Amino acid sequence: QVQLQQWGAGLLKPSETLSLSCAVYGGSFNGYFWSWIRQPPGKGLEWIGEINHDGRTNYNASLKSRVTISRDTSKNQVSLRLNSVIAADTAMYYCARGYCTSSSCKGGFGYWGQGSLVTVSS
Partner 1 sequence: QSALTQPASVSGSPGQSITISCTGTSSDVGGYNHVAWYQQHPGKAPKLMIYDVTNRPSGVSNRFSGSKSGNTASLTISGLQADDEADYHCSSYTSISTPLYVFGSGTTVTVL
Which residues of the chain form contacts with partner 1 (CB under 8 A)?
35, 43-47, 49-50, 58-62, 64, 94, 99, 101, 104, 106-110, 112-115
Shortest gap between Cβ of 26 and partner 1 (angstroms)?
A: 16
Q: Give 99 or 119: the residue with its C-beta nearer to partner 1.
A: 99
Contact 40, 91 (CB under 8 A): yes
Torsion of CA 116, 122, 66, 96, to 10 degrees: 10
115 in the Ramachandran plot: left (φ > 0), alpha (ψ -120 to 50) or beta? left
CB of 66: closest distance to partner 1 in angstroms?
14
Sign of CA dihedral 86, 122, 44, 2: positive
Of the two residues 16 and 119, which places its CB atom closer to partner 1 in the complex? 119
Name the residue nearer to partner 1 (CB basis): 16 or 46.
46
Q: How far is the CB of 85 from partner 1 (least distance, A)?
A: 19
Q: Are the beta carbons of 57 and 63 closer than 8 angstroms?
A: no
